[in-house]
Amino acid sequence: MAGYLSTLKNDVARWQAAGLIDARTGDAMLRDAEAHHGRGVSFGSVLSVLAAALVGAALLLFVAANWEAFPRVARVALIFIGILVGYVGGAGLKARGHAGLGEALWLLAAVAFGAGTALVAQMYQLSGDEAQAILVWCAGTALAAIALRSHPLTVGAVLLAGAWLLMTATASGRGDHVPLSWLALAVVLWAVSLWTASAASRHLLLLSAMLFAGLLYVDHESLRAPAILAAVSAAAFALGVWRPEAADRLVRLDGGLPVHGLLGFIAGMSAIQFEYYDEPEFIYVAIVVFAGVVAALVLAGRSSRMLRWLAYAAFVYELGFVYVALIGTMLDTASFFLAAGLVLALIAVVITRIERRMAAAAAEVRP
Amino acid sequence: MTASRKLILAALAIALVQIGILSWMIVGRAMILRSGQEVVLEVQPVDPRDLLRGDYVRLGYNISSVPAELFAKDDPAADPDERTVFVRLRAGADGIWQAVAAAYGAPPASGPGAGEVDMRGTADYGRGAGVASIGVDYGIERFYLPEGQGRPIEDAMRERKFRMKVAVAGDGTAQIKAFYDGDALIYSEPLY
């Protein structure tokens, strides 16, 4: 946030010089901005996290390289000390105002816990159940996130839950294993993310939910999951556009719900399109997707630049899809490149016009 | 209590919980080693191309493939995927334990007789025409080795009979205890 503050400082100085605001208002605005954004991630704390990660990786590599030299009891003790020093030391650092370093130590402690489960498996020659070990690791990390109200640990737990989902669903040679219990886990982690004020975790959980629906589709070869994904996403989009305050109270994504809605809608509809690839119904599905993308652009494009670009990308993607499915056989390669070039040029013109109008509209709002 | 003291106490609690979880896992395994029923199984190499993965060897046993007719109740031809299975073992004349009965979900009815033990595993697939046998994983299919020692053992396993002494807990959990090349002990699991 240091970047925003320094930009604002320059702006305020210019506004004061131009007589737009008086000196007192300017100073008050700067103080307010510092109070609200100063606590955010600063460049220094990012660097300290990276430094801690590097030192931790070096330690781990050293231990891994000399692993055989340590007796088993010493290995366990090393892991236990890592956990203890990581959590308590991190809390001490955070209490003294070094939030970035403290969080980094907590992450290292959580990694030590995961390494501990792997060590026990190695000590007692356990086989199978790597997924189970990841789940234990995820639960331990989520507990730590709750107790310490830590945003990075919440992100870690969400990522581990996703890893568990993927590992269980893709276990070799076994079908039908997408764990429905992931949904329960996701609900719990969502609650944890509200407690730890981790919006990034909620974004990741929504992306994981799309992955979950995709895995269900591949596993069951049924269109139920993608259809539900597309419908729920459309509903989420509508909620985010028409009731933005209610949506934000509900999901607290800083207005990001429509983007997820559009992404989920496209993901779900893509699966449906794959299924109807060779059927006459394909064209109707394609029309629904085009209509959805255009509707998203019209309804929410004005307020979100990210949504606009997602919609453009979806449009090009859908165009490619339709081309491969319907027109591909009718054109030779040269004509294809010509047609693709013309269509892309057309899209570029349309996008440029939309973006210009958005900019003009934004300028009007801000007289 | 100040906020920072609270934070440090919470961190201490979390550290102790996580250390506790790991200790509990270790103690549980040590208990099986100390008091579990000992059985001896014959080691069979699996998938000759991919025996050594990372720093462990994959192992199969004489009871890794359980004939479908050993299942008393339930239909063994029904989807065996990922179901918990209990396999009853009895020592053969040569000292190697063999599967004598099996059941899904719970140990075979009638309880293990004298000289018998029920071992818990996970059925992963049916094999053969009309599912003649069920593949079972017992959680002992992996043996960790110091780097570089895997290859010689892997080669020797194709030439000679290797045996594994396994401890079985009361609930059927299996735990590797000692690894034999013929009659010669090559590895013995310490308690801790």
> pLDDT tens digits for A224-260?
889 999 999 999 998 888 888 888 887 888 778 889 9
Q: pLDDT value at position B127? A: 59
How far is the C-alpha of B142 from the C-alpha of A260, rounded, in Å? 42
Task: Verify whether the Cβ–Cβ distance A83 to B18 is below 8 Å.
Answer: yes
User: Given this model, what pLDDT does residue A1 score?
Assistant: 44
Q: What is the pLDDT of residue A265?
A: 94
- Flag whether residue A174 sits within 8 Å of chain B, measured between CB atoms: yes
Nearest to A199 by CA among A243, A259, A144: A259
Whole-model pTM?
0.78
Q: For A20-34, write each residue's pLDDT tens digit.
A: 888 888 888 888 777
Q: Identify the pLDDT of residue B74.
A: 56
The pLDDT tens digits of the residues spanning B53-66 come to 456 778 889 999 88
Residue B98 φ/ψ region, left for φ over 0, alpha for ψ in the -120 to 50 degree band, beta for the rest:
beta
Beta-carbon separation of B19 and A86 below 8 A: no
**Region B86-90: what's the mean pLDDT?**
92
Whether chain A has a CB inside 8 Å of the CB on B18: the answer is: yes
User: What is the total residue count of chain B?
Assistant: 192
The domain limits of chain A are 1-37, 46-127, 140-221, 224-367
Q: Which residues of B touch A120 (CB under 8 A)?
A: 22, 25-26, 29
Q: Which chain B residues are closer than 8 Å to A122 by Cβ?
A: 144
- A41-50, A327-336, B74-83, B145-154: least confidently modelled range: B74-83
Greatest Cα pair distance in chain A: 75
Give the closest-approach CA distance of B43 to chain A in angstroms: 15
Residue type, A36: H
Give the span between the Cα atoms of B14 and A195, in whole angstroms.
Answer: 17
Phi, psi (degrees; rounded to nearest 5) at B146: -60, 150
Domain ranges (residues) in chain B: 1-35, 37-188
Contact between chains at A76 and B8 (C-beta distance less than 8 A): no
Which pLDDT band, with edges at 50, 70 and 90, does B135 fall under? confident
Find the mean pLDDT for residues A318-336: 74
Average pLDDT, chain A: 83
Read off the pLDDT of residues A192-214 as tens digits, 9 standing for 90 and up.
999 998 888 999 999 999 999 98
The answer on pLDDT for B182 being more than 50 is: yes
